[in-house]
Structure 1
């Protein structure tokens, strides 16, 4: 029996089936367009490959944060109104209300079917960036007899990955947001760049890596080519999916 299936829907959005439980990461369902944030504009360059209706019902949404449109757009917000549970940061849960629930670092929620979702630390940029970029979180999925799965969210910190590996490693499957995002807000990467993604996989002792959030937005500075180069000769298998493609592991 396959333990883990991921269908890449574009950007940070994926439909995960893990031990029979359906999970949606960072829902974004809008067409391509512009999203002003203060004096900056985020540009979405690719529309979704599936509508919210086509995705259908899930058991929970894993939302790394709500404050940036590339992780939660208008269509994604509408989808949350139908979701039975959204696990996210404390600040996002307060802003969103409804079924949004805070999942503090190292705490967990047990879903039906024996799947445990644990909140893990993430940093959306360099040390000290929280005041500018806001709170974000990552997730760890575990179940008896199944490989543990790390979903990074918009994390740029290898120190955070190192802490996760120290508590829960090895983590066989890593879903890494890996577009090396940059904006005028901070002169640094806001998500993992490709060589850092490869190092994160080694820290976790991951056997399989599925990158997300490396295409479809104008503020990504790295993509498939740099990821392929960074993972060349590394022990982890890299699964580069085009939107709409699916991988099954475990």
Structure 2
């Protein structure tokens, strides 16, 4: 059986190897730059550890949402719109991008191919800010990957709600690997509330999910990420969960 592994490209973007399939999370491949928007200008501070043209073969792109540049920048959007790779995303993303297959919360997509392990991808809710944020920040999805005889993988997407994490845990815990979008993103909305998990909440999410390993993403590479790896180490240690935290080094494959 193939190993589960993760390679951070940068920000929310990573290569997830699971059950012999390769998944790409939220494609962002631009060099540093600025992205003006309704909530202000997002500033990308570092480029990708792996350029888009140097990616290995990708079977499925897991797109948590398409409306924010820190989860789908210009190069990432071009990759998605080129087609040729299956893209799973929100129903709203599918309305805006013809190459996206829209999936509703708790909808399952079964990946099958000759001589390959069957993988089920379940779309799960995500809340991109405090309760009631959707009309401003838009719809986001997370994903859960399952396969026979393999630990379950959870990819949170831009989620700030522990209640949502609890809903995922009720259906899928224990989780083998949680790829948590952390960074406590703040852009001034909702009294500058965190739009993704804080380090404290990421540690609590690890406990709720009963996860064996957490790889935090979305915690470096953009100026509006208000917390990073230092805060994650501190909060996981305070919760006694430091042995579950796997801080990624961009470009380096982690076997999990």
**TM-score calculated relative to the size of structure 1:** 0.96
Distance 1:77 1:147 in 2: 31
Tell me what 1:86 maps to.
87
Q: Does 1:196 align with 2:196?
A: no
Tell me what 1:150 maps to.
154
Distance 1:53 1:133 in 2: 30
- Structural mapping, 1:5-84, within 5 Å: 5-38=5-38, 40-80=40-80, 81-84=82-85
- Aligned to 2:190, the other structure's residue is in SS state coil
Cα pair 2:39 2:189 within 8 Å, conserved: no
Q: Does 1:240 align with 2:247?
A: yes
Distance 1:102 1:224 in 2: 32
The structural deviation recorded for 1:139 is 0.3
Q: Does 1:106 align with 2:110?
A: no
Distance 1:29 1:118 in 2: 26
Distance 1:225 1:49 in 2: 20
Distance 2:177 2:67 in 1: 27
Q: Which moved more, 1:190-199 or 1:73-82?
A: 73-82
Aligned structure 1 segments of 4 or more residues deviating by more than 6 angstroms: none
The structural deviation recorded for 1:135 is 0.3
Distance 1:56 1:77 in 2: 18
Cα pair 1:194 1:222 within 8 Å, conserved: yes
- Residues 133-190 of structure 1, C-alpha deviations (whole Å, 9 max, x = no match): 0000000000000000000000000000001101111112100011000002232100
CA RMSD of aligned residues (A): 1.2
- Residues 109-145 of structure 1, C-alpha deviations (whole Å, 9 max, x = no match): 0112301100001000000000000000000000000
Cα pair 1:2 1:248 within 8 Å, conserved: no
Structure 1: stretches of 5+ with no match in the other structure:
none
State the aligned residue count. 248
Cα pair 2:94 2:102 within 8 Å, conserved: yes
Tell me what 2:97 maps to.
96
